[in-house]
Each structure stands twice: as C-alpha cells, then as structure tokens.
Chains A and B, each alone.
Chain A
Amino acid sequence: MLLADLKYGLRMLVKSPGFSLVAILSLALGIGANTAIFSLVNAVLLRPLPVHDPQSLVTVSTTDQRNPGNLPLSHLNFKDLRAQNASFTDMAAISFNQVNYSHGQESEQIPVQVVTANYFSLLGAEPSLGRGFRAEEETQATPVAVVSHGFWERSLGSNPNVVGTTVFLNRTLYTIVGVLGKRFKFFGDQDYTTVIGVAKDSKYNGVAEDPQNFIYQPLSQNYTPQATLHVRSAGDAASLANAVRGAARKLDPSLSVFNVRTLEEQVSTSLQPLMMNVLMLAVFGGLALLLASIGLYGVASYAVSQRTREIGVRMALGAQPSSVLGLVLGHGMMLVFIGLAIGLVAAYSAAGLMRSLVVVVNPHDPATFVSTAVVLGAVALLASYIPARRATRIDPLIALRTD
C-alpha cells in the first residue's frame, strides 16, 4: 500500500511539475540552509565541552598589585595555595611557553603548555594514547612530554606506536608518554591569557582560529614564573571565588584574584562575537524552514482540495481513513524526499563554505546530516500531515456531489 501511495504521489508530482518544482525547491532551500546552519550551531553551541563536569571547573586569574596588569599566579604561590587549600576538590596550574622542536635538519618553534601532573585528570581529558603525567614527574627532571592530537598527526605521522619514542625539544631528547584526544581544546582569553578547554585541538584565542599544535610538559621541565589556575570544586562557583580570594590574600596580601569563571562561562565569553551571527543564521534557517513548511502545507492542502471528489470516490469504494491519510502523505513524502536529497547536497557544499568562515565546523559530520535530515523531514511531513488528516474527515457523500 505504501509503495502504491508513493507511486501515486510521484504521478501527482509529475502531473503538475511547476507546482511540484516550487515546493521541492523551497523545501530544498529550507532543509539545505538548516542543515548547514545546524552544523555551525552544533559545533558552536550544542556540542558539550570535552572536559568532565565543566560547571564545577573554574579558572582563576591573578595579578600582583605591585605590578598590575601582568603576571598570573606564580608557580611557587600556586604550590602554597594548593598545599593550604581546604575548599577545593582539586587545583591545577598551567602556563605557556615555547620550545624548539628539532626533526632531521629542521627545527621549529612549538607552543608548550606547562602543566601540573594532575592537569589532565582534573579536566577529565585523559590522553587518548599512553598516559598523563605522574606526580613524581612534576618534581623530577625526567624529560617526558604529552603531545596534542594535531601535533601527533602533523609532526609524528599519526604513529600509533608513538608512546615510548623520542623527540628533540630544546636540543634535549624527550620520551613521549601520551597523545591527547582529538576533541580536546585549549585556548585563553585574549586580554588575560586565562586558559579554558573546549574541543578538539588546542586554541588560544577563540573558536575562530585554527587549532594549534601543542606539546605539554610537566612544570619542572619547562619552568615559567607564572601559572593560571584550574580549580575544581564540589560547591558553586560564586562561593569558590571568595575561597580562592581569601586563600590568596592569606598567602600574599598584594596578590589580587579576579576573573573567577566556570569553564562554561569562559567559553560563552569567547563565543560572544560569533554567537550573534550564529543566532541570526539560526533565525534565518528557522524562517526558511517555516516558509518551506508553509509551502508544503499549501501544496498538500491544494492537492486535497483538488482531489476532494477523488477522495470521496475512494472512500465510497471502501478506503479506510488510514488509506486516505497514506495517499495524501505519499504525495507529501515524495516532495519531502526529493527536497531532502537536493537540500542535503546543497548543505554539503554550504557547510564547506562555513568551514572556511569558521574553522570549528566539521562540514561533513554524518551525525549532523542524519539528525538534521530526520528532524527537518519530520517537520516537513507534519506540514503535509495536517491536510492529510483533514482529508480523512471528508464526507464521501458531500465529496461525490463536488464538481
């Protein structure tokens, strides 16, 4: 029966090609625009941060009042803070530096994230290959490193046996102990160099920049006099701010703590310039889908009004309401299927364009395409379901009198 309905739907479609074409194109436009936009919305707004419980993870910036506008918390102050603390679940520090990576006859400057040993476990972002740093590696000068996924791909040829191999950093032989997962991101606030984690490879200045290739080192191996804190707490972020502030003042009255924000707030702040564009695109996408659905509703309603007598005849011959529903939906489904096919191909291309505008978008994410197609297809089908449902209530006696 379904096949017969689809066949009949195709016949109806061919019967009025102009009308069908307009409906299909409007659907394709709506579906295509929404799929492309959803790729962006998904990447920017919906995809969860690749860290454990980001709401309880807070970043803290500090400044020295004797030397304002500069210098996050010093490494030694961090150690004291961590030792004295009783208010936090855990605390990690991170600072940034550069190393000279030598390979063959060539060498290049690679950004380094110098972290405490608990950094990866605090974020809940354990390396996808090998392991993170051990506590003893924070104090011993054992030359070990964790590399970012991008560095592993670009510079180490995605070698699956990379753990245990050696790389030259600052003319010192280092043993690789781990590779960080692909979705782990790390970028800081432009003004305060506060560090937050997002997704995939590490980034410094927001989602719009290209992923950076990083090397992670334990604090002891690339000492810098400053560090930024990651603090995880079981309590709420607001009370945590006061606890950190109090602990810092107790340690050093000139140390000023500010910019205490959860990871989600950090991400939100960094996304603000992009957010307006995304929201506008989402509104346009929604409008496009609404117009396409109205168009499909119009086509289906028109078809039902044109076929009232036919539906009456079918009902007189014994068609059940479900058969009439299938008949009208069959026509709508044909339009939706063709519109979906065209729309998804268009979205495939448009998402590529988006990728060139915003690098965070994966233009050909199958999950996005499938989920968007299902949702938008369902919306479009709903638009033809309403007139189809109305058709099932046609009185055959009245319909047969229709000219």
Chain B
Amino acid sequence: MNTSAQSLIHLDGVTKVFFTDEVETHALAGIHLEIKSGEYIAIAGPSGCGKSTLLSILGLLDTPTEGRYVLNGKEVADLPLSERARVRNREIGFIFQSFNLIGDLNVYENVELPLTYRGMKSAERKERVMAALEKVGMAHRAKHLPSQLSGGQQQRVAVARAVAGSPSILLADEPTGNLDSKNGEAVMELLRELHREGATICMVTHDPRYARHADRSIHLFDGRVVEEDGSKKGERELEESGFDIAH
C-alpha cells in the first residue's frame, strides 16, 4: 500500500438503517474507511454482513442514513439525483457479479455506453472503447452480442466498460461470483493487472482466496468492521515470486 498516496475515499461514521413497518435493520453501523488513490482493497465477510450495502454507498447507488462520504475531496453523501448520476459516470467504474451487459447492445456499444452518457465525441469514444477492449483481450469480439460470449468473456467486457472512462475507482461486486474457478482467476488476474497500471479497486468478495489479491482487506460482520488486514501486498508479491506462504 502506498501510504503517501492521496486519499480518494473517506467514510466517516457511515450508518445505513433500513426501515420497514415495524423493524429497523442496521445494515451498516458507524463505518470509518479510508481508501487511497491506487489502492486495491477487498471488503470481505459473510452474507448479510453489509458488504454490498457498503459498496452501494461507495458507488452512490444508495445514500447513508448518517455519516460523511467524501469522494475525491468532495462531499457526496447528499448530492441530488442528477449530480449523483454525473459523479457515478465520471468517477466510478462498476463491475457486477452478473456482468449486467445490455443484451440488445453489442460488445462495442456496451463499452461505449457510459462514454455516451458523458457526452464524449464519437471519435474519442471509439478510441477509448477499442483501447479498453484491447486491454481485456476482447477487441476481436466488438461486434458480438453478449449472448454470444462465455461468462468469462462477458465479465471481461464488463471490466472494459468499467475502465473505458478512466474512473477514479473501480467497484467490483463479487466479480467472480458467476464464474468457474478458471474464469474467476482470469478476471482476478485482469483486475490485478489494472491495479498494477495504477487503478484504484474496491472489491467485495466472500471468498478469502480472492480477498488475498488485494493490498488490504476489511472484514465486516453485522455492519461493523471487525478486522482490517493491511499487510497483504508483501505476501502477495512473495507468493507471485514463488514462495509458499501458509495461512
């Protein structure tokens, strides 16, 4: 972890409470989190611990009940809808568990979509889309529909869509959840490569094998951070160079 890097995300006392008729569900309880630019962080924990809720708040798809959320130096917790959409479009790249490619659009159009919403000119869009597809090794499938691709290929396209706009952070929600182990590893390798190139990644996973890919892991339980492990980068580098580290 680069400790001198600038703070990209700062959560301060973030809580999320879901209200139903008679029940209050505390999904997140006083989360404090700092993510620095260029960092690769994994959010782990069992089902229902609040991982996805936290990621939704980080991705401006949901709002905290209480607390502050600062993204790139700007308070974003209470932005109006249109401004949230604008920030999502420019600052955040989403990678979903179920890929969420649009079935009626081909690979090229899927990757182009967030750039279209940015109002980018056609020539620049084309350049960025092709670069992103090249990066994930899917340029040769640009005219294919998602239904003509394997799950692993679809997730690679989804990664291309997430990175095409050069967002400040990639938010990955169980990116290997719908993939077999081989394709899962391939996607994790792709994320690792993006990280090496400087991308900031925040990944939700319940699988400890994949959490180990991150620089730092935080473990949630009942909406609270119960454990934080920030020493993974050295271990991973050793592992990659051939050392066997027992956990």
Which residues of A come within 8 Å of B, CB atoms? 1, 4, 8, 11-12, 15, 309-310, 313-321, 323, 396-397, 400
Which residues of B come within 8 Å of A, CB atoms? 56, 59, 61-62, 81-82, 85-86, 88-90, 94, 96, 100, 102-105, 113-114, 116-118, 161
Task: Report the Cα distance A396→B59, complex, angstroms.
Answer: 11
Other A-B contacts than A310-B103, A316-B94, A317-B88, 14 sampled, CB-CB below 8 A, are A1-B116, A12-B104, A310-B102, A313-B96, A313-B102, A314-B113, A316-B61, A317-B117, A317-B161, A318-B118, A319-B117, A323-B117, A397-B56, A397-B62
Task: Report the Cα distance A397→B114, complex, angstroms.
Answer: 17
Shortest Cβ gap from B191 to chain A (Å): 19
Q: Hey, which chain A residues are within 8 Å of B61, CB to CB?
A: 316, 396-397, 400
Q: Are B85 and A318 in contact (CB under 8 A)?
A: yes
CB-CB nearest in chain A for B93: A317
Shortest Cβ gap from A174 to chain B (Å): 73
Q: Are B81 and A316 in contact (CB under 8 A)?
A: no
Interface SS of B by simple majority: helix
Best-surrounded residue of A4, A11, A400 (most CB of chain B within 10 A): A400
Q: Hey, which chain A residues are within 8 Å of B81, CB to CB?
A: 321
Task: Report the Cα distance A178→B154, complex, angstroms.
Answer: 81
Task: Report the Cα distance A313→B109, complex, angstroms.
Answer: 14
Q: Hey, which chain B residues are within 8 Å of A316, CB to CB?
A: 59, 61, 88, 94, 100
Task: Report the Cα distance A8→B100, complex, angstroms.
Answer: 18
Q: Are B82 and A321 in contact (CB under 8 A)?
A: yes
Shortest Cβ gap from B130 to chain A (Å): 19
Selected A-B contacts with CB under 8 Å, 14 pairs: A314-B113, A316-B59, A317-B88, A317-B89, A317-B113, A317-B114, A317-B161, A318-B114, A318-B118, A319-B85, A320-B82, A321-B81, A397-B56, A400-B100
Shortest Cβ gap from A321 to chain B (Å): 7
Shortest Cβ gap from A314 to chain B (Å): 7
Q: Are A11 and B104 in contact (CB under 8 A)?
A: yes
Q: Are A317 and B104 in contact (CB under 8 A)?
A: no
Q: Hey, which chain B residues are within 8 Å of A396, CB to CB?
A: 61
CB-CB nearest in chain A for B100: A313
Q: Are B86 and A318 in contact (CB under 8 A)?
A: yes
Task: Report the Cα distance A12→B103, complex, angstroms.
Answer: 11
5 interchain residue pairs of minimum CB distance: A318-B89, A317-B114, A318-B117, A397-B61, A313-B100
Q: Hey, which chain B residues are within 8 Å of A397, CB to CB?
A: 56, 61-62
Q: Are A4 and B104 in contact (CB under 8 A)?
A: no
Best-surrounded residue of B85, B89, B113, B117 (most CB of chain A within 10 A): B85
Q: Hey, which chain A residues are within 8 Å of B56, CB to CB?
A: 397
Shortest Cβ gap from B121 to chain A (Å): 13
Shortest Cβ gap from B217 to chain A (Å): 24
